[in-house]
Structure 1
Amino acid sequence: MIENSSLARPALVTGASRGIGRAVAMQLAALGVPVVAIARDKAQLAEVVTEIEQSGGKAVAYAIDLTDLATLPERLDEIVEARGPFQITIVNAGMGYTADIADTPLQDWQTVLDLNLTAAFACIKAVLPGMRERRSGQIATVISIAGKQAFPGWGAYCASKFGLLGLSKALAQEESKHGIRVTAFCPGAVNSTLWDTPTVQADFDRTQMLDVETVASALIQTLSLPPNAVVDELVLMPSGGTF
């Protein structure tokens, strides 16, 4: 259970329109945590907010293209000013991408890093001042097992996720003295809409993968620890052996 002192303060969830982000937003709202949901798809975000509100929860949505790095810091600052400070931030937005490194165009490489790593950095930067001021806050970065293990054909994706793990680890070291807890969350294969996107060409048995509800539940359990404890890294794998 999320600690009572966190219930009145909102949680920021990126990539909240589908998959893990949507499940996290729904479960947080069910616990009484107000949710600020960010994603690019305005229509899908509206559905998430409607479903949360119909279930008695509270949520607002902001449709933002997180790869628009020229405007992203300003947009995030506006959200923090209007809805913050945030007690919980789930840095979840990301994309999958498959191609051998030799066949990866520079523009594709940059797009993957922009969303999976640089946008995550921008989101973290936006919420840190409010957390530092209160000397309290939790940041969870949704990475992947691909942040710890490389896979052929996933070079750009693995590079972005290895980078996000490094960012998370450094952040945890720097911010613990400010009362901020950071969790690097590395789930194995998850049966999500990532596998249906045009940038991913892969054929796996999705029935053996983790489901998004289980992944979201595991993440929220790590956020439910008392303030004197933190899960600094969580690896959650399917029991059937899928990567």
Structure 2
Amino acid sequence: MTRFPKLEPLGFDPTIPNQARIYDYLVGGKDNFAADREAARWALSVAPELPMMCREGRRFLERVVRHLAGRGVRQFVDVGCGLPTQGNVHEIAQAAAPGSRVVYVDNDPVVVTHARALLEDEEHTAVIEADMREPDQVLGHPRLKSLIDLGSPVAILLFFALDVIPEDELASHIVGRFRDAIAPGGYVAIGHTVSDLRPEATAGLADLYQSRSVVTGHAHREQQRTKADVEGLFDGLSLVPPGVVYIPAWGADAGQDTLDPRAIWSVGGVGRKDA
């Protein structure tokens, strides 16, 4: 098996911008520092549509979780969950299907501390610190194993988590390992920004994040993945209609107006494990 370089533990340094805290700032949160806000303002100068994209990402998450709860899924693992905000997975899942169990996973100790403070009182919810670059570390975590039965259908949620995995082979490995670990009838859901429509914006953000040493993954890409690249991550899974599409169109009601995908250059899809 290919061995991938390990990340050093993130630790906590408020002077280094962090992707999760930048996102928090973009959605109007308060769990961010001056370095995060400065990096976010630079990002907005490159792509002023980022706050709208973040909001659409949350709407996509809500539609996916409701859809899966409606298909009988009662277990969710939110990998690379980021800082808690309104409309968390457990709130959506448990409103649609009371008793649903949710495990949040992140490798950032600041994210985990905040999430535990806000979420751990929930009977069917847990927060674990683990690195998705090592899926077996996630799957073998005692807290996850105490709450999630991998022998029954589970939804693995990778909402914009793979954006910060620059290595294509590693991204495929992460998805493949989670796919192999879940039982038939389980799902893998992915949301991912892509470069097809706004290559100048995605290249500009990649350059910005590298130049400002934003904490993301082990390395940095010069350009974001394409829609076709994201489709390839669903290898071995049966795509749920409408497949991999720009996120405003996924799960949209018939006749509902959708946003111009050129303003929301993120795609998403859900794959079902059949056997």
- TM-score scaled to structure 2, two decimals? 0.46
Contact 2:193 2:224 in 1 (8 A): no
Matched, 1:78 2:107: no
Q: CA deviation at 1:45?
A: 2.4
List per-residue Cα deviations over 1:37-66 (Å, max 9, x = no partner): 111223432433443454x56222221234
- What is the 5 A alignment of 1:182-221? 184=244, 186-187=246-247
1:125 corresponds in structure 2 to: 176
1:65 aligns with 131
8 Å CA contact 1:77, 1:126 repeated in 2: no
2:180 partner letter = P
Q: Is the 8 A contact 1:142 1:186 kept in 2?
A: no
* Structure 2: unaligned runs, 5 residues or longer: 1-65, 207-219, 266-275
CA distance in 2, matches of 1:241, 1:143: 14
SS at structure 2 position matched to 1:113: coil
> Residue 16 of structure 1: CA displacement?
1.0
- The alignment's TM-score, normalised by the length of structure 1, stands at 0.51
Tell me, yes or no, if structure 1 residue 92 matches structure 2 residue 141.
no
- The 8 Å contact of residues 37 and 61 in structure 1, kept in 2 or not, is answered as yes
- SS of residue in 2 equivalent to 1:6: coil
Structure 1 Cα separation of the partners of residues 225 and 177 of structure 2: 20
> Does structure 2 conserve the Cα–Cα contact (< 8 Å) formed by 1:143 and 1:186?
no
Shift of 1:11: 0.9
- Aligned-partner SS, 2:136: helix
Separation in structure 1 between the aligned mates of residue 244 and residue 86 of structure 2, nearest angstrom: 15
Given the alignment of the two structures, is residue 12 of structure 1 paired with residue 77 of structure 2, yes or no?
A: yes
Distance 1:50 1:19 in 2: 10
Q: How does 1:98-117 map to 2 (within 5 A)?
A: 113-114=166-167, 117=168
Aligned-partner Cα distance in 1 for 2:86–2:106:
9
Map of 1:197 onto structure 2: none
What pairs up with 1:148-227 in 2 under 5 angstroms?
A: 148-152=197-201, 153-154=204-205, 159-162=223-226, 165-172=227-234, 174-176=236-238, 181=240, 184=244, 186-187=246-247
Q: 3-state DSSP class of the match of 1:161?
A: coil
Helix, strand or coil for the counterpart of 1:5? Answer: coil
Amino acid at match of 1:88: A
Unpaired segments of 5 or more residues in structure 1?
97-110, 188-214, 226-235
Number of equivalences:
171
- What amino acid maps onto 2:166 in structure 1? L
After superposition, residues 218-237 of structure 1 pair within 5 angstroms as 237=259
More helix by share: 1
Contact 1:150 1:158 in 2 (8 A): no
Partner of 2:115: 48
- CA RMSD of superposed structures (Å): 4.3
In structure 1, how many angstroms separate the alpha carbons of the residues matched to 2:225 and 2:171?
Answer: 11
Return closer, same or farther for 1:4/1:57 CA change in 2, 3 Å cut-off.
Answer: farther
Change (3 A) 1:16 1:65: same
